Amino acid sequence: MPLQNINPTTTNAWKKLASHYNEMQSFSIQKAFKSDAERKEKFSIDFNDLSLDFSKNRIEQKTLDLLVELANEAELKDAIDKYFSGDVINVTEERAVLHTALRSNSEDEIQIENKDIKPEIKKALRKIRAFSNKVISGDWKGYTGKKITDIVNIGIGGSDLGPDMIVEALQFYKNQLTTHFVSNIDGDHVSEILKKLDPETTLFVIVSKTFTTQETITNANTIKNWFLKSASQFDIAKHFVAVSTNLDAIDAFGIDPKNVFPMWNWVGGRFSLWSSVGLSISLSVGFDNYKSLLDGAEKMDLHFKNSEFDQNIPVLLALLSIWYNNFYKAESEAILPYTQYLTKLAPYLQQAIMESNGKSVDRNGNDVNYQTGTIVWGSTGTNMQHAFMQLVHQGTKLIPTDFIGYEESLYGLTDHHQKLMANYYAQMDALAFGKSKEDVHLELKFSGDTSKIQTLMPFKVFEGNRPSNAILFQKLTPVSLGELVAMYEHKIFVQGVIWNIFSYDQFGVELGKELAKKLLNNA
Ligand code: F6P
């Protein structure tokens, strides 16, 4: 069954939220903390090794109650059941949305066209494990009998961003193989990567659900031609493997059918790192770590599926985002991880979030008369404090922020970690509580130069009241990374349900592709 079609603005909760928004004009996060010593505890949730502190938001209990009411009126529970059980909720593409099945350890069947998909998933995982073990151990040999030293993932969008982000994030857990990613059709990109490679010891993983994507096929052909300068057609099987649904196109490319890893049309590209698209992850960190990543995601799936909405991390993050997007008219959200390992998280989430919820037609086919997908952007702390945070602290725009942090670092260096985390907390405090005229006055007075107090005062005041979520894990591990990514996936889903849009198609990327093809044909 498809999702229900409910215009959120027609719900009672929406109307109540609109008038509650007016009441909240004088709300101050700072005052809220002063008047309620329990605020942090009230607006925090602990789950496994993760804690979400959402107390530094422009909310009170009534706000949360109304947001949860909105989720109920939007029939979110019914939508979650349909999402997990494989209903065709991607109506425009006539598909189920089942990336959650890829990481499920439960024995429960999930039927697609009267066939349980769980055995196929398990089979694919076994194939990934066997292949990864063979390459990592050196049993898999190149055409001159040498071990593989380098892996190149050739793909774009969902066939690149997820694996690239995870391999970067889990580099602490990496083995001896060096992993590269070729995505852009820019020939200089592939040329720079090829410069570093030896055809005798490199394995190429071509990842394309459709195997028709211009960038991927062009890059794969350029790489094949480069390879064939030193090797023969018969050597391709030892150096090229593919992840795709398009078996004919793979065959035409010359890849041994034994070296094809499956994809399914019930997994969207931007949610596919949990499928064979994650092969380069498994090659890079080993199958056990890859499986732990999936297990972490499953933990978040179960939390999302089974928790009450007011205790449900992805639901709360989605509702808070709707509160700012639709009522405060915030245009963007910043994702700010305090670990250099998550340098590629923001670009990854940009595709996941903006390709999913950047829609202006509702599930009835009508133009929406309210805002949908948020613009997301971000970078790692502390670097970004020295880049764009000025605007977040003192600019004219309201930018809700997610601060992602870890209690422990991976290499120790506790002095660094203490400083990193002091900055993590300090930024959120500065955003929420600001700096008053009185404090600025005192500071300038004690600095000695009292003549400048009046002129400098306005520039040094921080109004505060700027929202943030503290998303804090114990440690960056494959499990906690799986939890984090799945958390955002479910946030996307909840927002799409409430905005009454189809989150799992992406027709908006097609027109530009068609026009580029026309231009090429006419050239
Ligand atoms: O252009 C967008 C897109 O269709 C994404 O949704 C997808 O992740 C990417 O292109 C790559 O597609 P494919 O895996 O079929 O090459």
Please write the tens of the pLDDT for every residue from 434-458.
999 999 999 988 887 788 888 999 9
Residue 153 lies in a domain: yes
pLDDT for 438 equals 94
Q: Report the atom number in ligand 1 closest to the C-alpha of 272.
A: 8
CA distance 468 to 399: 9
Asked if 486 contacts 466 with a C-beta cutoff of 8 angstroms, the reply is no
Q: Report the atom number in ligand 1 closest to the C-alpha of 263.
A: 14
The answer to whether residues 195 and 326 belong to one domain is: no
Enumerate residues 6+ apart whose C-beta is below 8 A from 463. 394, 434
The answer to whether residues 121 and 185 belong to one domain is: yes
Closest by Cα among 206, 256, 204, 201 to 234: 256
Q: Report the atom number in ligand 1 closest to the C-alpha of 213.
A: 16
Q: How far is CA 82 from CA 78, 90, 97, 158, in A?
A: 6, 11, 9, 23
CA distance 269 to 211: 12
The answer to whether residues 74 and 148 belong to one domain is: no
pLDDT for 405 equals 98
Atom 8 in ligand 1: which residue has the minimum CA distance? 158
Residue 318 lies in a domain: yes
Residue 300 lies in a domain: no
Atom 10 in ligand 1: which residue has the minimum CA distance? 157
The answer to whether residues 188 and 265 belong to one domain is: yes
Residue 130 lies in a domain: yes
Residue 460 lies in a domain: no
pTM more than 0.95: yes
> For the chain, what is the radius of gyration of the CA atoms?
25
The answer to whether residues 480 and 335 belong to one domain is: yes
Residue 100 lies in a domain: no
From 97, 218, 506, mutation site for ligand 1 pocket: most ligand atoms within 8 A of C-beta:
506
The total number of structural domains that make up the chain? 2
pLDDT for 447 equals 84
CA distance 324 to 467: 9
Asked if 153 contacts 181 with a C-beta cutoff of 8 angstroms, the reply is yes
Domain CATH for 327 = 3.40.50.10490
pLDDT for 159 equals 97
The answer to whether residues 127 and 68 belong to one domain is: no
- Select from 259, 289, 319 the last residue of a domain: 289
Enumerate residues 6+ apart whose C-beta is below 8 A from 253. 206, 211, 220, 224, 240, 242
Give me the residues of the chain with pLDDT under 50, please. none
Atom 3 in ligand 1: which residue has the minimum CA distance? 157
SS3 content of the chain, % helix, strand, coil (to 5): 55, 15, 30
Enumerate residues 6+ apart whose C-beta is below 8 A from 163. 153, 155, 181, 207, 273, 277, 278, 279, 280, 281
Please write the tens of the pLDDT for every residue from 262-289.
999 999 999 999 999 999 999 999 999 9
pLDDT for 258 equals 93
286 lines ligand 1 (CB under 6 A): no
Residue identified by tokens 């009441």 is: 23
State the residue range of the domain holding 26: 8-94+307-409+426-433+467-509
The answer to whether residues 282 and 199 belong to one domain is: yes
pLDDT for 1 equals 87
- Select from 258, 289, 320 the last residue of a domain: 289
The answer to whether residues 183 and 61 belong to one domain is: no
Q: Report the atom number in ligand 1 closest to the C-alpha of 513.
A: 1
Residue 457 lies in a domain: no
158 lines ligand 1 (CB under 6 A): yes
Q: How far is CA 138 from CA 7, 236, 260, in A?
A: 57, 18, 20
The answer to whether residues 163 and 264 belong to one domain is: yes
245 lines ligand 1 (CB under 6 A): no
pLDDT for 207 equals 97
The answer to whether residues 160 and 270 belong to one domain is: yes
CA distance 321 to 400: 8
- Select from 289, 316, 338 the last residue of a domain: 289
The answer to whether residues 180 and 270 belong to one domain is: yes
195 is a catalytic site residue: no
Q: Ligand 1 centroid vs 214 CA: distance in angstroms? A: 10
270 lines ligand 1 (CB under 6 A): yes
303 is a catalytic site residue: no
Residue 301 lies in a domain: no
Atom 9 in ligand 1: which residue has the minimum CA distance? 157
355 is a catalytic site residue: yes
The token duo for 234 is 């018969």
From 159, 208, 359, mutation site for ligand 1 pocket: most ligand atoms within 8 A of C-beta:
159
216 lines ligand 1 (CB under 6 A): yes
The answer to whether residues 166 and 45 belong to one domain is: no
